[in-house]
Chains A and B, each alone.
Chain A
Amino acid sequence: MHPKRISVKFFVSPDPQLAVDLHPFIGIFHSFIQQKTVEGLLIDVANYAHVPEGPGVVLIGHDVEYAIDSTDGRAGLLVTRKNFGGAVPVPYVLRDTLRKALGMIRAIEAHPDAGLKFAMDAIEIQFVDRLAGPNTDAGYEAARAALEGPLQEVFGAGASLARGHTADSRAMLSVRVNVAEPADAGTLLDRACAAVGGIRTQNGAAPPEPDAKPQTPWDVSAVALEKLRDEGADFVLLDVREPAELEICSLNGTNIPSGQLHGRLNELERDAHIVVHCKGGGRSSKAVEMLRAAGFGNVWNLRGGILAWIDQIDSSLTRY
């Protein structure tokens, strides 16, 4: 089961039935974009406060959307994870969505204008994909099987799952999670991050990308590379370092040392999507230029090499 989107909703505490004052969230969400307070490629704020029981105010992102949503008259934070391609397993997506949601909750609860708190004793998960996650008994069983383990990792062994509230078979498949021993958002965030791996800053946000100088006209950043991986994109990661360097740290790419590249072009497909990296970007820049000159049209350079990856994405690898 590989839904294209998954959403997680945390409800407003103490009473989700009370109307939320949406207006401050226009400003709050704009400031989150300015200050990169929460995770995701944030784009804009959409105001749907005029629509009853709707998505309210939405912080629109490319990979994630945060809404102060009041569907069915129950207010909460609805976080939808999207555009990660079809091949990413549900447990990974779920943990990642939780990580982002919890980061947002901490940011909202800390904001003086928001005046909102969220309950940690129950959440709702929706499969925003009627094909991969149909709202049927079988669909629910498959969802439960995929979700139960990762949910218990984050919410504790007492977390129990039930079919969502709605009786309308046209609605999306929804799973209700009741938590026996609620923890605070910070603890949950730690657990979600531990499970996902990767970095965790103050609010669970990814650090802003440092200003790096372009090395070729065909650079991709480490963040963009992570996104490609995230989305399960079909591409070749080509590592042009020497074998000895691979033993220190590696991104598990295909290895052709730069000195041999010229003679081994037949090992690569001319129209493949290729991202090349070395240690710091020097050798890979040359490799990209050479490959492009040889007619490879879709070749890119990881700007800053594996060192940039270590700095920005995965500090658990060894620097050298």
Chain B
Amino acid sequence: MSSPPLRWKQQLAGQMDPGWASEIDDFESQLQLRSQGKLDEKVFAETRLRRGVYGQRYDNGQRHDGIAEATLAFADRPTKGSETLWDAPGMQRIKIPGGGVTPEQLEVLADCAEEYSDGILHVTTRQDFQLHYIHIEDTPDMMRRLAAVGITTREACGNSVRNVTACPRAGVCKTETFDVSPYARALMEFMLGHPDVQDFGRKFKPAFSGCEHEACGLIQLHDAGWLAREKDGKRGFKVVVGGGLGPVPHQAKLLSEFTPEEEFLKEMQAVARVFARLGEKKNRGRARIKFLVAKLGIEEFRRLVEAEKKTIPHDPRHTAFLDDMPRTQGEPARLPAPLPPGEHSDAFKTWYATNIYHQRQSGYSLVTIALPLGDMTSNQTRALVDIARTYSGDNIRTTVEQNMVLRFVSSEDLPALYEALDAAGLASPGAGSIIDVTSCPGTDTCKLGIASSRGLAGELRNRLGAKSASLPQAIKDLKIKVSGCFNSCGQHHVADIGFYGNSRKIDGRTVPHFQVILGGQWTENAGSYGLAVGSVPSKAIPEAVEALTEGYVQGREPNESFQSWMARIGKRNAREIIKPFMKVPAYVDGPDFYSDWSDVREFTIGDLGVGECAGEVVSLFGIEVVKAESQAFDAQITLDEGDAEGAEDGAYSAMLSAARALVRIEYIDVTEDADDIVQQFKTRFFENERFFDRFAKGKFGRYLLDRHANPPARVDTDLAKQRIEEAQLFIEASHACEARLAPEVAVAGQPAQESLATQ
């Protein structure tokens, strides 16, 4: 047995795209250099993140084991990023453009999950796959195996154009204008490694949708979105920019009512250049394009894009894809035929009711495989591959609801398909219903996670699943989405009932909580975001959900949606419903409240790590200013609801919170008292001009001082509006001030807070 060990590199040599193969070789040598301490830590971190190789929770080698903070005894080796130990397990993100995978690709993914991870493939809310607990030294070979079947992990992370998502129904949908999949692919291919996207201050997430009214593409919450339109028989897109979730959610703004198909790539290039040139680089918390669009205003942004377009030289690739664009799908495996009439089992009927969509192509169905928490095993994956080969051909996709779909299944085959799926444990009913809870990784693996989103999602799924047969249809149709923190990877803003993790200090201990967000809109491409109504301890969330759904069923008017019901009863009444569940018993009476779902350790937020990807420290300020941001956000909502006085007051509170966050950097004991905050702010930041902007000078700071000194006697809508704007500017200025105070942590190129799940 003296033959040299086999290597994937040689084994797969002829099967990889040569460009990809040499990129992976480069990555492997950088990895070796870094492991010998010969490459700079930051350079290596950026390199690996650009290839989708992330850190994971506990990778600084510290973990609270439930009793004490413990050091994980990893070997002393060079780090793979700031505070990221070499041997600590990591996550590999594998981007799947438009969610489309082939059986061959799935087979390799299944192999990789088994050999390098723990045998689980996880589907994310952006149609990617993620594998967890990966050892960095395995990543080059894993990349080679994926590359050999046409998957690249390049730019799965980093400040680049992230996975292009698209509606999983594209091409088979009854309401779409046309199939957006080839355009999504064209954009992906055009932008991958393009010089104009290398200098972004932050990541950029694109999405495509075939029609306006469904959710599938969720373009409103993306950095840029393309909505299929036809005009005078020509194809093109309505284009929107600057949407996004996170602590400050933005709805995307209209860039163009109609961009013809031959111009959309050029226009994207112009957007990229404007963003690269003018986007924020220093302060990573403000660097997404949504902030640039908000700052310039969409009209100015549009003007800049138009001007930029004129300077972009002709590039044949702007239109080349149109010539060889597949106008149709891959080949279906079977001929179309209707579902034969006859006796079907109840289980089949239940599944059929929720997991089947009748395609535009008659006789064909789209079948959703509902994956619990987005997870499936390697064995299940292979079973799915066999089923796909028999019944649907190449037509497999991932969805943003963390499921898989098979397309072009002949409806005639559905009963047999159901049996086959069931044998593999893949026939869970309820796809897209209330039991199909979406969740980001949360504290399971994400370094930024505060509470266990997966634990909660699993619990809700179990409880609701157990009684799903008896739930009224109106409840079944609701959507629940959970994020482990305010970064919103679980897309909680667009669920009927959404949650994000936070924590409260009670009894000297930290208790996991979730903020409850109600009435977000999933349809209309995620057309509007939900309202925060209050924080409930994790362990009481299932009861709160029960109360909310019951309140809805009892209080709704005929055919009233959850959203309209919420809008009608208002935030205050909604809060009344959850109020009974907001209390935390003393530790002795309910120790259970002090640990999280699916965990037995006493809860702590001590494990919160440094976020990654291009990962700056989430500073105390960063955490606290979020409160100000959500107060400003809520003030806007309050105003929309017609309560000008409440809105004005909310905006003022938002300024106070931002000022307090700033003061607390230096003086942790400042009270919550308005006079105290303003006094401290004044002496520490205003009078010495540290808060001053180069151009605006003390203008923004005076917003707070003036309002504090002279509360308005009468508030009308205009004044409230003005105050909200002031609050937003004040918060902006606080961010800028904080960035100036800590230049060393906010340098561009230095990794910033990054959410783990879904990019």
Interface residues, chain A, with chain B CB atoms under 8 Å away: 1-2, 4-5, 26-27, 30, 33-34, 41, 43-55, 58, 60, 62, 65, 67, 71-72, 82-83, 86, 128-132, 142, 168, 170-172, 209, 218-221, 223-224, 227-228, 271, 273, 297-298, 300
- Contact between A82 and B135, CB atoms less than 8 A apart: yes
Q: When the two chains form the complex, which single residue of B65, B88, B115, B120 contacts A128, counting CB atoms closer than 8 Å?
A: B115
Contacts of A132 in B (CB 8 A): 5-6
State the CA gap A62–B110 with chains docked (Å): 21
Q: When the two chains form the complex, which single residue of B66, B67, B72, B375 contacts A50, counting CB atoms closer than 8 Å?
A: B375
Contacts of A5 in B (CB 8 A): 115
How far is the CB of B607 from the nearest CB of chain A, in Å?
10
Instruction: Fill in one digit per residue for B562-602: 1 if any A CB lies within 8 Å of its CB, else 0.
Output: 00000000000000000000000000000000000011110
Determine if B649 is an interface residue (Cβ-Cβ < 8 Å): no
- Contact between B65 and A30, CB atoms less than 8 A apart: yes
Q: When the two chains form the complex, which single residue of B76, B107, B137, B376 contacts A51, counting CB atoms closer than 8 Å?
A: B376
Which of A53, A83, A170 neighbours the largest number of chain B CB atoms within 10 Å of its CB?
Answer: A170
Contacts of A34 in B (CB 8 A): 65-67
- Contact between B379 and A53, CB atoms less than 8 A apart: yes
B contact residues, total (Cβ < 8 Å): 55
Question: 3 smallest A-B Cβ distances: which pairs?
Answer: A52-B425, A27-B600, A50-B372
Q: When the two chains form the complex, which single residue of A65, A72, A129, A223 contacts B118, counting CB atoms closer than 8 Å?
A: A65
**Given A4-B138, A26-B600, A41:B379 Cβ within 8 A:** no
Determine if B82 is an interface residue (Cβ-Cβ < 8 Å): no
How far is the CB of B56 from the nearest CB of chain A, in Å?
9
- Contact between B75 and A54, CB atoms less than 8 A apart: no
Of all chain B residues, the one with the shortest Cβ separation from A73 is: B425
Q: When the two chains form the complex, which single residue of A30, A142, A168, A170 contacts B601, counting CB atoms closer than 8 Å?
A: A30
Q: When the two chains form the complex, which single residue of A30, A67, A130, A171 contacts B599, counting CB atoms closer than 8 Å?
A: A30
Determine if B667 is an interface residue (Cβ-Cβ < 8 Å): no
Scan residues 70-99 of chain B and give those whose CB is less than 8 A from a CB of chain A.
Answer: 70, 72-76, 87-89
Scan residues 47-77 of chain B and give those whose CB is less than 8 A from a CB of chain A.
Answer: 57-58, 63, 65-67, 70, 72-76
- Contact between A60 and B118, CB atoms less than 8 A apart: yes
How far is the CB of B134 from the nearest CB of chain A, in Å?
11
State the CA gap A172–B461 with chains docked (Å): 32
State the CA gap A117–B364 with chains docked (Å): 49
State the CA gap A131–B108 with chains docked (Å): 13
Q: 21 A-B contacts, Cβ less than 8 Å apart?
A: A1-B1, A43-B89, A46-B118, A46-B133, A47-B444, A50-B461, A51-B377, A54-B377, A54-B380, A55-B118, A58-B118, A62-B72, A62-B88, A65-B133, A67-B118, A71-B119, A71-B379, A83-B135, A83-B137, A128-B114, A132-B5
Determine if B330 is an interface residue (Cβ-Cβ < 8 Å): no
- Contact between A228 and B75, CB atoms less than 8 A apart: yes
Contacts of B458 in A (CB 8 A): 47, 49-50
Known: A30-B65, A41-B74, A50-B372. 14 other contacts (CB 8 A): A26-B598, A43-B58, A44-B58, A47-B458, A50-B375, A51-B380, A53-B379, A62-B88, A83-B135, A132-B6, A209-B73, A228-B75, A271-B38, A298-B37
**Given A41-B73, A129-B115, A297:B37 Cβ within 8 A:** yes
Contacts of B379 in A (CB 8 A): 53, 71-72, 171
- Contact between B36 and A62, CB atoms less than 8 A apart: no
**Given A5-B115, A48-B375, A51-B377, A300:B599 Cβ within 8 A:** no
- Contact between B119 and A55, CB atoms less than 8 A apart: yes
Q: When the two chains form the complex, which single residue of B11, B63, B67 contacts A44, counting CB atoms closer than 8 Å?
A: B63
Q: When the two chains form the complex, which single residue of A45, A50, A130, A221 contacts B115, counting CB atoms closer than 8 Å?
A: A130
Of all chain A residues, the one with the shortest Cβ separation from B462 is: A50
Q: When the two chains form the complex, which single residue of B11, B74, B118, B119 contacts A62, counting CB atoms closer than 8 Å?
A: B74
Of all chain B residues, the one with the shortest Cβ separation from A48 is: B120
Q: When the two chains form the complex, which single residue of A71, A130, A171, A221 contacts B73, counting CB atoms closer than 8 Å?
A: A221
- Contact between A55 and B5, CB atoms less than 8 A apart: no
**Given A46-B133, A131-B11, A228-B75, A172:B114 Cβ within 8 A:** yes
Contacts of A60 in B (CB 8 A): 89, 118, 133
